[in-house]
Structure 1
Amino acid sequence: MAQTPQQRAANAKFAKSEQAKRGKPQNQVKRKEEFKSPISKGWIAVLAFVVCGGLIFELLRLFF
């Protein structure tokens, strides 16, 4: 099956980027960084308590 011009261009671009990586140490090759949340887990817990804490205290007041 013959390649389309778009496939040929994409393959050439990929081959060029792979060739640029060869011979470099692993730490120099750019990798995608993992997603890092802008807010820490502790602050998320505090916000969840503020939002849901009133409901929890109301339920405790009703049953005890």
Structure 2
Amino acid sequence: MAQTPQQRRANQKFAKENESRMGKSEDQLKKKEKRDVKSPISPIWLALLGFVVFGGLVFEVLSRLLG
């Protein structure tokens, strides 16, 4: 069975990553992996979530103090 274009791209990406690892020690590879960690949630969504939670908390405290 022939490869699909998606499989071909995935295989090329895998080969490129393995070539970049050749000749490097485990310590060098671990250091690189630690730098590439990304947050699972974007800063915009994090700010929106914080606004909803803490903004609601602030409004609740103000309503209890003033009302």
State the TM bucket, normalised to the shorter chain: 0.3 to 0.5
Max Rg structure = 1
Taking structure 1 as the reference length, the TM-score comes to 0.45
Give the TM-score of the pair, scaled to structure 2.
0.43
